[in-house]
Amino acid sequence: MKILVTGGAGFIGSHVADAYIAAGHEVAILDDFSTGNEANVNREAEVLRLDVRDKEGVAAAIAAFRPEVVNHHAAQSEVPKSVADPGFDATVNIVGGLNVLRTSIDAGVRKFIFISTGSLSSSTSARSTAHSGSNTRCCVTRTSTARARIFMPRKAE
Ligand SMILES: NC(=O)c1ccc[n+]([C@@H]2O[C@H](COP(=O)([O-])OP(=O)(O)OC[C@H]3O[C@@H](n4cnc5c(N)ncnc54)[C@H](O)[C@@H]3O)[C@@H](O)[C@H]2O)c1
């Protein structure tokens, strides 16, 4: 199966890409390498060096690779950055994520997987704050939770 892993040069995405390749799948990774590392990238993976905010670029890459599955991990994942510049955080994590989702739908991708956040299971920011001992986690938690709520299918009302 052809699988696109966004954020495939990062911590989690690179392991996901390795596992797909070990299972015999054809993998491309889409990453801008802003925090990802070339050393993380499996040599058998095709590399698409792109920013998820570049909607046309992402659409062209997905149309050319024609994945059946997109597994979305590309993200601004650093807590201090998300607190210092929440607008940038939202542009990458929400708008960029929606670019990947929209272009995947338009390209007929069969399955879209995205990594969620543990914050959905700890529903109050007070609880998150208690875990971290500071109020920074509540800020990134809210952004991550917003993204998860946008991306996850809802039950019919
Ligand atoms: N690490 C954890 O414990 C954990 C837990 C729950 C959820 N998550 C989520 O998993 C995802 C990946 O986390 P991670 O720990 O692997 O982070 P990471 O920072 O190691 O990986 C993110 C990857 O995305 C790439 N990236 C960043 N901005 C990009 C952009 N604009 N366009 C294209 N690529 C871009 C980076 O270069 C990097 O390779 C994030 O959404 C994070 O919120 C992580």
Mutate to test the pocket of ligand 1, among 12, 100, 121 (most ligand atoms within 8 A of CB): 12
How much distance in Å is there from the Cα of 157 to the middle of ligand 1? 32
Closest-CA residue, ligand 1 atom 27, reads 75
Tell which wins on pLDDT, 123 or 12: 12
Return the pLDDT at 115: 87
Sheet harboring 26-31: ordered strands across?
46-49, 26-31, 2-6, 69-72, 111-114
**Residue 8's domain spans which residues?**
2-115
How much distance in Å is there from the Cα of 100 to the middle of ligand 1? 14
How much distance in Å is there from the Cα of 6 to the middle of ligand 1? 9
Whether 7 is in the pocket of ligand 1, judged by its Cβ within 6 Å, is yes
User: Confidence class of residue 128 from pLDDT cuts 50, 70 and 90?
Assistant: very low
Q: What pLDDT digit, counting tens, does each position of 93-108 carry?
A: 999 999 999 999 999 9
Q: What pLDDT digit, counting tens, does each position of 39-88 carry?
A: 999 999 999 999 999 999 999 999 999 999 999 999 999 989 999 999 99
Q: Please tell me the total count of domains within the chain.
A: 2
Whether 41 is in the pocket of ligand 1, judged by its Cβ within 6 Å, is no
Question: What is the position in ligand 1's atom list of the atom closest to the CA of 78?
Answer: 19
146 and 84 share a domain?
no
131 and 86 share a domain?
no
Return the pLDDT at 138: 45
Tell which wins on pLDDT, 29 or 129: 29
111 and 135 share a domain?
no
pLDDT at 7 over 70: yes
Hey, what long-range contacts does 86-91 have (CB within 8 A, 24 or more apart)? 86/139, 86/143, 89/140, 89/143, 90/143, 91/53
86 and 148 share a domain?
no
Closest-CA residue, ligand 1 atom 2, reads 12
Interacting residues of 64 by C-beta distance below 8 A, sequence separation 6+: none
48 and 86 share a domain?
yes
Question: What is the position in ligand 1's atom list of the atom closest to the CA of 114?
Answer: 41
81 and 143 share a domain?
no
How far is Cα 36 from Cα 54, in angstroms, rounded to an integer? 18
140 and 97 share a domain?
no
Q: Of 55-59, 124-128, 146-150, where does mean pLDDT reach its minimum? A: 124-128
Q: Tokens 């990453």 appear where?
A: 31
- Structure tokens given for 86: 């929440």
How much distance in Å is there from the Cα of 76 to the middle of ligand 1? 6
Tell which wins on pLDDT, 8 or 138: 8
The whole-chain average pLDDT of the chain stands at: 85
User: Confidence class of residue 131 from pLDDT cuts 50, 70 and 90?
Assistant: very low
